[in-house]
Amino acid sequence: MHTPQDQSADQIISTIEISTPLGPMLAGASTKGICILEFINRVKLEKEIADLQLLLNAVLVPGKSPFLTQLETELAEYFDGTRKTFSVPLHTPGNDFSQTVWKSLQKIPYGETCSYKQQADMMNNPKAIRAIASTNGRNRLAIIIPCHRVIGSNGTMTGYAAGIEKKKWLLKFERSHSEVPAGSLF
For this structure, is 35 an active site residue?
A: no
- Pick left, alpha or beta for residue 181 (phi over 0 → left; psi -120 to 50 → alpha; otherwise beta): beta
Marked catalytic residue, from 29, 147, 161, 170? 147
Catalytic residues: 147
